[in-house]
Amino acid sequence: MLEQQSHAAGRSADFKPFSSEYTRDPYPALERLRESAPLLYWDEGRCWLVSRYAMVVQLLRDPRFTTDRQAWEFASANPAHTQCPEFVAMNKNGLFSLDQAAHTRVRKLVSPSFTPRATERLRPAVQAIVDEVLSTAEAGETFDVARDFADKIPVRVIGAMLGIPVSYQDKFHHFADAVIQQLLPMLIPPGSIEANFAAIREGIAMIGEIIDDRRKNPIEGDILTSLIQAEELGDRLNKDELMALVSGLIVGGSETTVHLIGFMVLNLLRRPALMEQVKENPELMKGVLEEVLRFDNFGKLGITRYAKEDTEVEGVPIKKGQMMVLLLNSAMRDASAIDMPDAFDPSRESVTSIAFGNGAHFCLGANLARLEGQVAVGTLVARYPEMQLEGEAVFGPHPLIRKLDSLKVRLGPPR
Amino acid sequence: MRLVVDWDRCEANGVCVKAAPEVFRLDEAEDRLNVLMEEVPSELQEKVERAVRVCPRQALSTREK
Ligand code: HEM
Ligand code: SF4
């Protein structure tokens, strides 16, 4: 490994995740990383890139590394400290950043609402949202799966789960997108930073309003009401944590699943034989969903961890405060961990998937995302069995996501 | 081998049940995990070790007695 690292400087410059070629298909570049430099310091990103499955999982389970971005060596250089301190404060208290005991305490307040069984109870509500989104779109001949469908569903599902009026939901998108861009702030173009902060400020103000309103008008059996009551009791959740938790649910709930839905439809349309199988056996959609996340992950890079102390990983010294970017997409194509990784096989066992992370910060909403993907794409395929791709999928620029700007289809006659 | 569950971590997602159904079961009514044995007989050790590895929340561990 040490030897590989000494060759790494040259290769570091070869990694170009912002090229359009990489967006369409990042896998050849990721394979080169796994083969030649599985632990590489990437100068441009000012972080380590970790591309093999075993090392990614090991780091996700390693208490020497934290999710808290305040631990990053360059954290104080983020203009958010001076220009958007309310965002810095909110991050500090979010589920995503909290470490150890505080994380466990806050997560336990919401996790019972996200178990497979609890999530399953939302199925009729999710189905109703999907049906409604589809019914408003049905008039046209061509249909944009990205804009007219995928984009509209997750935001409404998390909104419904938290009992937030539809009028707020448009703003969620804006806020969630801005927060997600802040996961790797060094990639935000300087000219866009002020707009990014403006969207975040507006989102934080909106969450404050939503909480104040629910405090005055509690709802029986409602998640948000129960969190507000926990905060009022004072010992399990403080005010800043409440704000940050609601924000985390909104951001987690309204962004990622959009891309999952788009990528599922794209992968099915590109595989007519599989599409036929799914129509005959709708249960297969579960495996398709898992396999889309594994085989054609919508993430460009991955998730981050920061070294809490000077340490080493497989003999390579890592300095306190350095950022590790764990390339989940690459890890799930690693032949040393996954059998025939380059074959799209919806019947494979999915327990080794790390698309939703692993360890303490494992995605809280994984079961909700799965439910949404199955219902949304399942309904679309069942209602429009003759749906066809129209032209090419169009990918837009995004620092972190292989974002489908448009995915045009001809729906054909409804069933 | 002794199985240890960190109940602060477990979120009843049932991934371990797939890996070792002899040892883990979901209690549907309570929506929580049931562990059917804490002392793991040697023939089930491999399955339990797999469950420890695949638990997405890192809630499981084993100890030698
Ligand atoms: C396809 C859809 C989704 C994917 C691929 C995804 C992926 C992930 C990943 C990889 C993590 C771990 C991050 C880390 O360890 O650094 C995570 C955390 C999280 N996700 Fe998701 N997610 C999805 C949907 C959702 C949904 C629908 C929600 C709704 C509530 C959600 C809420 C969260 C929250 C709150 C966390 C932080 C958990 C913690 O730190 O304890 N996610 N997600
Ligand atoms: S896999 Fe882990 S988190 Fe899931 S039910 Fe089993 S012990 Fe609990």
- In this prediction the pTM is 0.95
Ligand at minimal distance from the CA of B7 is 2
Cβ-based contacts of B11 with chain A (< 8 Å): 111, 114-115
Considering its fold, how many domains does chain A have in total?
A: 1
Residue A197 pLDDT > 60, yes or no? Answer: yes
Considering its fold, how many domains does chain B have in total?
A: 1
CA distance A96 to A303: 11
Task: Give me the amino acid identity at A49.
Answer: L
CATH code where residue B38 lies: 3.30.70.20
Continuous H helices in A217-322 = 223-233, 239-254, 256-269, 272-280, 285-295
As beta bridge partners, residue A404 has A395
Residue A11 pLDDT class (50, 70, 90 cuts): low
SS3 state at A192: helix
DSSP state of A75: G
Cβ-based contacts of B31 with chain A (< 8 Å): 112, 115, 117-118
Question: Can you give the residue range of the structural domain that contains B56?
Answer: 2-60
Candidate of B9, B13, B36 to mutate for ligand 2, largest count of ligand atoms within 8 Å of Cβ: B13
**Residues on chain B bordering chain A, Cβ-to-Cβ distance under 8 angstroms:** 8-9, 11-15, 18-19, 28, 31, 54, 56-58
Tokens for A198? 């403006």
What interface predicted TM-score (ipTM) does this complex get?
Answer: 0.95
CATH code where residue A113 lies: 1.10.630.10
pLDDT of residue A167: 86
Tokens for A371? 């439910």
Task: Give me the amino acid identity at A22.
Answer: Y
Ligand at minimal distance from the CA of B23 is 2
pLDDT digits (tens, 9 = 90+) for A157-181: 999 999 998 888 888 888 999 998 8
CA distance A62 to A52: 16
Cα A258 to ligand 1 centroid, rounded to whole Å: 13
Q: Which residue has the higher pLDDT, B6 or A6?
A: B6
In a domain, A2, yes or no: no
In a domain, B65, yes or no: no
Residue A255 pLDDT class (50, 70, 90 cuts): confident
On average, the pLDDT of chain B sits at 95
Q: Which residue of B has its CA nearest to A368?
A: B13
Tokens for A31? 């394979």
pLDDT digits (tens, 9 = 90+) for A328-375: 999 999 999 999 999 999 999 877 889 999 999 999 999 999 999 999
SS3 state at A23: helix
Q: Are A243 and A130 in contact, with CB atoms under 8 Å apart?
A: no
Question: Can you give the residue range of the structural domain that contains A373?
Answer: 7-410
pLDDT digits (tens, 9 = 90+) for A62-80: 999 999 999 999 988 888 9
Cβ(A368) – ligand 1 distance below 6 Å = yes
At a CB cut-off of 8 Å and minimum separation 6, what does A327 contact?
A30, A33, A49, A50, A51, A56, A301, A302
In a domain, B27, yes or no: yes
Interface size between A and B, measured as CB pairs under 8 A: 39
In a domain, A354, yes or no: yes
Residue A40 pLDDT class (50, 70, 90 cuts): very high
Q: Are A29 and A16 in contact, with CB atoms under 8 Å apart?
A: yes
CA distance B49 to A296: 29
Query: What is the per-residue DSSP string for A26-68?
Result: -HHHHHHHHHH-SEEEETTTTEEEE-SHHHHHHHHT-TTEE--
In a domain, B39, yes or no: yes
Q: Among A111, A349, A362, select the one facing B56 at the smallest CB separation.
A: A362
Residues 97-136 of chain A whose Cβ lies under 8 A from any Cβ of chain B: 104, 108, 111-112, 114-118
Cα A127 to ligand 1 centroid, rounded to whole Å: 22
Residue A3 pLDDT class (50, 70, 90 cuts): very low
